[in-house]
Amino acid sequence: MPKDKYEPPNERRQHRIMQKHEIAEGKQSRWSELEISGCVQNLSLNLWKVEWLTVLYLDNNHLSHLPSQIGTLVNLEHLDASHNFINQLPPEIGDLVNLRQLKLSSNRIQDLPYELGKCFQLQTLDLSNNPLNFDINKYYTESIGKLLAVLLDSMNCEYTMFAASSM
């Protein structure tokens, strides 16, 4: 898929399990999409080693947070963590610079980390049905670009103030 044109994941994706003879022959799977469902509360640390993932579905679970290790999935283009109990995002979400779709509807998110502003390629950001604070909600309803710019500016401002105070 060319990087300049993003196509959302196919909703009718096919699931395939490798056959025993394929595994015995040393064939390795390089699947790019992963769906984890079933009222999951915790995610395995091994998930964050699958760096080639481009699509990750974590929706309709019982997750209370996304761990900081999410930042290791640098090739991720689509993340759906809707319908969970997530109350905040880790700053490492900003390391997902290839992210084009971020779906976080129906969680408990009130605020966003400034680092999300580094996700310049974001085309879809779904924060519906979250108790967003007034400022975030104001910019979110204007446009994704405006929200990302405000977050990035706030991150730079906070960094500048921190650097000045430590001199």
**Which residues neighbour 47 within 8 Å (Cβ) at sequence distance 6 or greater?**
34, 36, 69
More confident residue, 157 or 132: 132
Instruction: State phi, psi for 78 to the nearest 5 degrees.
Output: -135, 120
Helix or strand or coil: residue 101?
strand
Per residue in 117-142, pLDDT tens?
999 999 999 999 999 887 787 777 77
User: Is 114 part of a structural domain of the chain?
Assistant: yes
Number of domains making up the chain:
1
- Per-residue confidence (pLDDT) for residue 154, from 0 to 100: 78
More confident residue, 3 or 58: 58
* Encoded tokens for 60: 């309709």
Give 3-state DSSP helix, strand, coil % of the chain, rounded to 5: 35, 10, 55
pLDDT at 75 over 90: yes
> Is 142 a domain residue?
yes
26: left (phi over 0), alpha (psi -120 to 50) or beta: left
pLDDT of residue 113: 93
82, part of any domain: yes
End-to-end CA distance of the chain: 47
**Which CATH number does the domain housing residue 108 bear?**
3.80.10.10
**Domain residues for 52?**
20-165
* Residue 1 is assigned to a structural domain of this protein: no
- Tell me if 3 is assigned to some domain: no
| pTM to 2 decimal places | 0.77
In a domain, 8, yes or no: no
Asked if the structure places residue 137 within a domain, the reply is yes
For the chain, helix (H) and strand (E) counts, in that order, are 3, 5
Q: pLDDT tens across 14-72, in order?
A: 555 656 776 666 655 667 888 998 899 999 988 898 888 999 999 999 999 999 999 99
Predicted confidence (pLDDT) at residue 7 exceeds the cutoff of 80: no
If you average pLDDT over residues 86-115, what whole number do you get? 96
- Is the model's pLDDT at 73 over the cut of 80? yes
Q: Residue 21: its pLDDT value, please?
A: 72
The answer to whether position 118 is within a domain reads: yes
Tokens representing residue 35 in the block: 């769906």
- Positive/negative CA dihedral, 21, 22, 25, 28: negative
